[in-house]
Amino acid sequence: MHESQWHGVAKEVRQLKAHKDFDVKGEIKWRYFGGENNDPANPLSHLDQNARDRFRERLFSIITSRKSLTVICCASDALAAYDKGYVETPEDLYHFTYKPISERFQYHLQDLSRTVGDKQLGMIIADPRGKNQDEALRARHQSLVDGNSPVSSSYENMVEAIFFSPSHLSIGIQLSDMVAGAIGRALNFKDSSFARLIKPALRTNAKNGAIKGYGFVKFPDKGWGGPPSGGGR
């Protein structure tokens, strides 16, 4: 998300939540949209499934209506990753899935720089998971930026270290959660009804429009089988 668009996006999300058809108060998370999730703490619990789906569609339209919002994602196949030998723990899997996302973000900043004729800088904001996990990701991110990681891209367009923000205080993280949920549903349950809505926002190859390797990356690229229908892999 370009910094000049942040206020506009935040305003549109607030207006959508306050719309008389929805009246949503609280954080937006993908898991809240399931019809079976009627937890009183769920800010969507007062909406039926039809209203939840309409809200979700309107939310995704906020993303796709702005050319300056670009989606980059990486989907991992855990079994294939562990077979590689260098992935031994869940944190290894997390970090090796993070690397292609951060690389594509760097490439995206380079593309923007060429388009506008001025160097475009960017920062990554992540949802905190826990002190030890956050410290490990911060160190991993810094090793990539400093060029201390083998087979690493240049991160010369990155600003500072990785930043962490509670999701309820970050519009960007909430939108990212929704994007991840839509893509996860398509991969895990073969339901692409919502992933299809965000497809226009996925980063593409400027010459041929390819998404694979640009806005959608697999880890590991070789041997990736993806999750079987109806479950995670």
For a pLDDT cut of 70, what percent of the chain falls above it?
Answer: 94
Look up tokens 């207006």; give the residue.
15
Looking at residue 149, what is its pLDDT? Answer: 56
Report in angstroms the alpha-carbon separations of 122 from 10, 119, 191, 213: 19, 10, 33, 20
| Rounded Cα distance, 104 and 108, in Å | 6
Least confident stretch, 129-133, 218-222, 224-228: 224-228
| Rounded Cα distance, 78 and 227, in Å | 9
Which amino acid, one-letter code, is at 71?
V
150: confidence class by pLDDT, cuts 50, 70, 90 = low
CA atoms in the 13 A half-sphere facing the CB of 62:
26
Does residue 172 surpass a pLDDT of 80? Answer: yes
Does residue 228 surpass a pLDDT of 80? Answer: no
Q: Tell me if the bond preceding 220 is cis, omega within 30° of 0.
A: yes
Looking at residue 233, what is its pLDDT? Answer: 31
pLDDT tens-digit profile of 94-122? 999 999 999 999 999 999 999 999 999 99
Q: Are 63 and 71 in contact (CB under 8 A)?
A: yes
Helices then strands (H, E): number in the chain? 7, 4
Looking at residue 198, what is its pLDDT? Answer: 96
pLDDT, mean of residues 111-134: 95
Q: Tell me if the bond preceding 150 is cis, omega within 30° of 0.
A: no
Question: Which residues share a beta bridge with 158?
Answer: 122
152: confidence class by pLDDT, cuts 50, 70, 90 = low
| Rounded Cα distance, 171 and 137, in Å | 21
Does residue 231 surpass a pLDDT of 50? Answer: no
Q: Are 134 and 127 in contact (CB under 8 A)?
A: no
Which amino acid, one-letter code, is at 160?
E
DSSP secondary structure of 20-89: TTT---S---GGGGSTT---TT-TTTTS-HHHHHHHHHHHHHHHHT-TT--B-EEEE-HHHHHTTSS--S
Question: Which residues share a beta bridge with 164?
Answer: 126
